[in-house]
Structure formats: C-alpha cells, structure tokens
Amino acid sequence: MRRGYNPYTLPRWLRTTRAICAQFVVPFCVFQGIRTILIPTTFDVLLLTIFILIALAIKFEFI
C-alpha cells in the first residue's frame, strides 16, 4: 500500500527547486498565453499546455 505524499521527505535541493518553479510558473503561463493569442503556432500551444500542466501539478501537489 502506498503512503500519502509528503514533500518534507524530498531532498532539500529538490524542495528548493519546486519552490522556485512554483514562483515562476504562473508568470510564464500568462506570458505564454498572451503570446499564443497574438501569434498562435503549434510550439506556442504545446509550451502553454506544458506550463499549465506543471502549474496544476504544483497546485495539487503531484510534484
């Protein structure tokens, strides 16, 4: 049986990296969303999707 997720069991460097990503992912999503609206390319849409998935994973503590 799998235990629940506890972020404090992660190494310190990984917790620091996760905290830094949590601070920067929302501004990146906003910037990429504006860029996708102005100049929609396949790469921009994929990048925006990746940023949104990362933001959701951090929000719901999957990462």
Tens of pLDDT, residues 20-59:
999 999 999 999 999 999 999 999 999 999 999 999 998 8
Top pLDDT among 63 and 16 is at 16
32, 48 Cβ separation under 8 angstroms? yes
Instruction: Report pTM.
Output: 0.79
Q: Among 1-5, 9-13, 24-28, 59-63, which is the least confidently predicted range? A: 1-5
pLDDT of residue 2: 62
Q: Output the six-digit token pair for 32.
A: 């990429």
Looking at the predicted structure, is the pLDDT value of residue 18 above 80? yes
C-alpha count within 13 angstroms, C-beta hemisphere, residue 30? 4
